Structure 1
Amino acid sequence: MTAGSLIVIAKEPVPGRVKTRLQTEFTPSEAAALARASLADTLAAVRATPVRRYVVALEGDSTGWLPPGFHVVPQRGDGLDERLAAAFEDAYSGLPMLLVGMDTPQVTPELLMVDWAGHDAVLGLTEDGGYWCLGLRKPDRRALVGVPMSTDHTGVDQLERLRSLGYSVLLLPMLRDLDTPADAAALAAAFPHLRVSRLHRRLQHSAHPGLLFEKALGGARVVATGTDGRAVPSLSEVDRWRAPADAADRLALSRCEGPVLDIGCGPGRIVTALAERGIPALGVDISALAVMLTTKRGAPALRRPVQEPLPGEGRWGSVLLMDGNIGIGGAPRSLLRRCAELVRPEGLVLVEADPDDDLDDPAPIVLRSAGGRRSHPLPWARVGSRAVLRYAQAADLRATEDWRADGRAFLTFRRTASVAELAQAY
């Protein structure tokens, strides 16, 4: 005996509502795209299995993604146990039924066509403690309602429930669910032909740098490298960015004259340290998470690229490019010119340069997560003090100081005031 009806219990792949555990490595939209691809693989395997009836027990809308040939029944019930029981009831047409989820895209028609003659039920367990399929000859709410769902022992509990009802159960091979980034990577490696695997490979090498930067701010391990794979130390020190200002930071900040604009403020350690000194300061960053973390520390921050209009243009006492932020945009000469526009006449521009004095590398960088994701190239520049001095001179900034602290390199510059500005000042 084989199943006469195949049921897929599924949720419409809407960003933010499906595969939320994938969002430790992927955006909500990317996680939803992976869910959609996984569901497409599952539906293709189901449709290739010769049975009389194909059913989707659906939460959400099927418009635009469900292939033809499936009868849709809406999910009903309060918990997953009730929704599973209802799916069997609503799909029943007098034939044995096999229900599968949308999280095992590696399922095959051969697995779905298993002969379970002599058994009352079929159960396929998953590696995480759940189960990927359940087969019943006819609906039986007793078999499902009250079984704890979404635990690491759901599969065992389901098996015990079936046996407690006197069911003879055929166990199918154990499969791995697609729930976490590690699951996605493992399935992509083991089953490279799947739609979800092909999408995973594309996503692994095309992450937006902002996504990985925000993952780093949230505590994930992310490293920065050149496109050649060499590490970029100044952009791999997120732990320092998230910690309070250290001795080298405080030494640099002792030069600051208020008000201070911190460009690329990250999680706000510099703006916070300035506030503690009683120096008015504002952080700017393009990362929403960085701005949130800064304001959470009680310091002001604004989400805006430095190239766009900023408050107080031409009136800032000091403008900061800490933590290698001289590299923002990959054009340090243009960035220093922008700083000169922001600072007041004779105001201060403080730059943290690469410790390698001779470095002048405008090549883009790549962010890499511990989970294997790699961003597309991010325009950046790595420049030592000699290159910074050249670029500053072209921006009409004159050097005033150059020092080292804890292996870090700093320079300060003054914006040269024009004759008209000096006359206005006096």
Structure 2
Amino acid sequence: MTAGTLIVIAKEPVPGRVKTRLQTEFTPAEAAALARASLADTLAAVRATGVRRKVLALDGASATTPPGFTVVPQRGDGLDERLAAAFEDAYAGTPMLLIGMDTPQVTPALLRADWTEYDAVLGLTEDGGYWCLGLHRPDSRALLGVPMSTDHTGADQLARLQSLGYSVLLLPTLRDMDTPADAAALAMAYPELRTSRLHRRLQHTAHPSLLFDKALEGAPVVATGSDGRTVASLSAVDRWQAPADAVDRLALSRCEGPVLDIGCGPGRIVTALAERGVPALGVDISAQAVMLTNERGAPALRRPVQEPLPGEGRWGTVLLMDGNIGIGGAPEALLRRCAELVRPDGLVLVEVDPDDDLDDTAPIVLRSASRRSHPLPWARVGSRAVLRYALAADLLATEDWRADDRAFLTFRRCSTAVASTPLRAARR
């Protein structure tokens, strides 16, 4: 072993600033947690080498100094400048090996590799970068101007060292953790790592809204029961993203403004109402859904329906389209909330499951290719169950109608509806 100093170059694991490519499957906070775990695994491997001088070159602030490490701030603009500065700031007259924080599987044996007979040592990564670089003394010529964060950075770094006449020992190529696929592969190959243990926990604890957002972005997501049986696919997202169709417009023709669309999704209903000149507001807990609605030029608010909402008791119509009667897993409570939101003579329009006899209030789990959510309170209910829940919520059904295999019910508050008016049924 020739390195007298081991340098770990790292970025403070702040959500939104680190591991942004992991955020295709993880939240910013989860991606930062994986980065923090990867750094902890790397620091542990460095400690296990027995090397006495250990330096952490940190971009950002650290609440505590890792035991056995000297912390120096990174300096310089680009990564090439920061790497060169890290070698200069850590130099104590002995060879130095610098590694990143993205290869938590690195071992003490790799870090103790003997490169006494070489001028430099380099460890490449599978994505074209490199995970370590060793120099006997600082040499800015070896780093400044080398293109960083490309699929040929490792090759360019090797070429630069060789152009300076350096003999280079190549260490084994490692996979770094940049993407969800990288994180999954490392967790499978190295299950004992802190990073791997965290990854396994995160795989089964995604927030449902995260996976719903991924579905809105086009990722395949299904809903399953607690037994793993698929109960629904979010393939309907294509319909949600599209403009309102003929059945949607038929439902909207019944609306009395202003309209509150609960669980508005990407906003096709609110947009269609605006085009009709009907004032409407969408509410959803998904940030992606609200953003997509706003991008369509329609108003939407990110808020659970259970929290205070604008215009309570003054809405002409409250909508529960696309099976949103299932929100919260308690249809009676949701219908009571709708009765609070609508004005005394207003309308509650509910899309129900086409299976009239369905009454399933068991939680569901959303699953993508690599993650599953924690249980989500939800209900899948047909017309008979909804009629029963509505009556308990002091809502009287005024119409039962279907079109193109979709089923709908409309209600008014019992205090203003004429109880003797028969329920009208319509089919198309």
Q: Measure, in 1, the Cα distance between the counterparts of 2:87 and 2:307.
A: 58
Q: Measure, in 1, the Cα distance between the counterparts of 2:257 and 2:110.
A: 70
1:214 to partner: Cα distance? 2.4
Report what 1:105 is aligned to.
Answer: 104
Out of 368, 373, 376, the residue aligned to residue 378 of structure 1 is 376
Q: Measure, in 2, the Cα distance between the counterparts of 1:54 and 1:200.
A: 28
SS in 2 for 1:72: strand
Alignment deviations for residues 10-33 of structure 1 (CA, whole Å, 9 cap, x no partner): 111111111111111111111111
Q: Which amino acid aligns with 1:202?
A: R
Which is further off, 257-266 or 176-185? 257-266
Q: Measure, in 2, the Cα distance between the counterparts of 1:235 and 1:309.
A: 28
Q: Which amino acid aligns with 1:306?
A: V
Q: Measure, in 2, the Cα distance between the counterparts of 1:259 and 1:116.
A: 75
Any conservation in 2 of the 1:319–1:343 contact (CA below 8 Å)?
Answer: yes
Q: Measure, in 1, the Cα distance between the counterparts of 2:403 and 2:312.
A: 30
Q: Measure, in 2, the Cα distance between the counterparts of 1:62 and 1:263.
A: 43
Q: Measure, in 1, the Cα distance between the counterparts of 2:289 and 2:71.
A: 44
Any conservation in 2 of the 1:318–1:348 contact (CA below 8 Å)?
Answer: yes
1:299 to partner: Cα distance? 1.6
Report what 1:299 is aligned to.
Answer: 298
1:184 to partner: Cα distance? 0.7
1:309 to partner: Cα distance? 2.9
Q: Measure, in 1, the Cα distance between the counterparts of 2:93 and 2:159.
A: 26
Any conservation in 2 of the 1:13–1:36 contact (CA below 8 Å)?
Answer: yes
Any conservation in 2 of the 1:234–1:324 contact (CA below 8 Å)?
Answer: no
1:109 to partner: Cα distance? 0.6
Give 5+ residue unaligned stretches, structure 1: 420-426
SS in 2 for 1:282: strand
Report what 1:257 is aligned to.
Answer: 256
Report what 1:48 is aligned to.
Answer: 48
Report what 2:289 is aligned to.
Answer: 290
Alignment deviations for residues 124-148 of structure 1 (CA, whole Å, 9 cap, x no partner): 1000000001111111111111110
Q: Which amino acid aligns with 1:398?
A: L
Any conservation in 2 of the 1:283–1:301 contact (CA below 8 Å)?
Answer: yes
1:101 to partner: Cα distance? 0.4
Report what 2:423 is aligned to.
Answer: none
Report what 1:352 is aligned to.
Answer: 351
Report what 1:315 is aligned to.
Answer: 314
Q: Where in structure 2 are the equivalents of 1:267-282 lying within 5 Å?
A: 267-282=266-281
Any conservation in 1 of the 2:221–2:233 contact (CA below 8 Å)?
Answer: no
1:360 to partner: Cα distance? 0.5
**How many residue pairs get matched?**
418
1:235 to partner: Cα distance? 4.7
Q: Where in structure 2 are the equivalents of 1:139-150 lying within 5 Å?
A: 139-150=138-149
Alignment deviations for residues 379-411 of structure 1 (CA, whole Å, 9 cap, x no partner): 111101111111122223222222222322212
Report what 2:63 is aligned to.
Answer: 63
Report what 2:16 is aligned to.
Answer: 16
Q: Measure, in 1, the Cα distance between the counterparts of 2:233 and 2:411.
A: 21
Q: Measure, in 2, the Cα distance between the counterparts of 1:247 and 1:413.
A: 22
User: So what's the TM-score if we normalise by structure 1?
Assistant: 0.94
Report what 2:411 is aligned to.
Answer: 413
Which is further off, 403-412 or 16-25? 403-412
Any conservation in 1 of the 2:345–2:416 contact (CA below 8 Å)?
Answer: no
Q: Which amino acid aligns with 2:188?
A: A
Which is further off, 149-158 or 395-404? 395-404
SS in 2 for 1:349: strand
Q: Which amino acid aligns with 2:413?
A: R
User: So what's the TM-score if we normalise by structure 2?
Assistant: 0.93
Give 5+ residue unaligned stretches, structure 2: 418-428
Report what 2:425 is aligned to.
Answer: none
Answer yes or no: is 1:32 the counterpart of 2:32. Answer: yes
* Alpha carbons of structure 1 residues 128 and 416: separation in structure 2 relative to 1, 3 Å: same
* Alpha carbons of structure 1 residues 346 and 78: separation in structure 2 relative to 1, 3 Å: closer
Q: Where in structure 2 are the equivalents of 1:180-219 lying within 5 Å?
A: 180-219=179-218
1:236 to partner: Cα distance? 4.6
Q: Which amino acid aligns with 1:394?
A: A
1:210 to partner: Cα distance? 2.0
SS in 2 for 1:401: strand
Which is further off, 216-225 or 137-146? 216-225
Q: Measure, in 1, the Cα distance between the counterparts of 2:127 and 2:229.
A: 37
Report what 1:422 is aligned to.
Answer: none
1:275 to partner: Cα distance? 1.1
Any conservation in 1 of the 2:38–2:103 contact (CA below 8 Å)?
Answer: yes
Any conservation in 1 of the 2:6–2:97 contact (CA below 8 Å)?
Answer: yes
Q: Measure, in 1, the Cα distance between the counterparts of 2:233 and 2:68.
A: 56
Out of 344, 362, 387, the residue aligned to residue 385 of structure 2 is 387
1:92 to partner: Cα distance? 1.2
Any conservation in 2 of the 1:318–1:350 contact (CA below 8 Å)?
Answer: yes
Q: Which amino acid aligns with 2:343?
A: R
Report what 1:178 is aligned to.
Answer: 177
Alignment deviations for residues 150-180 of structure 1 (CA, whole Å, 9 cap, x no partner): 0000000011111111111111110001111
